[in-house]
Structure 1
């Protein structure tokens, strides 16, 4: 397996984990807005960068 595909998978999974953690904190009401924003933004960045990397590698003919 290509190292870039593994990195894309890891980034995507970290992003999903961050977004789920943000949702859990929000539902429980145990998070301040700043903390929720930081986790949510970082989760979104990781998720979309991982998905973009996977999509870009999937469309190339290596």
Structure 2
């Protein structure tokens, strides 16, 4: 378990990546971006967002 993980809302991820709400949910749906549900709220751990970015950078460099 990652005790220091911070959780982001979908709008926060939208703002950080400069993408639409549907694009964020597409990333979640296709399991490219890990998330969890707390009640009815979707949250994305910051480490999951970092992982997505690093993975995409590696793919672009290949």
| Length-normalised TM-score, structure 2 | 0.34
Between the two structures, name the one with larger relative contact order (CA 8 Å, sep ≥ 6): 1
Instruction: Return the structure number with greater strand share.
Output: 2
| Length-normalised TM-score, structure 1 | 0.34
Instruction: Return the structure number with greater helix share.
Output: 1
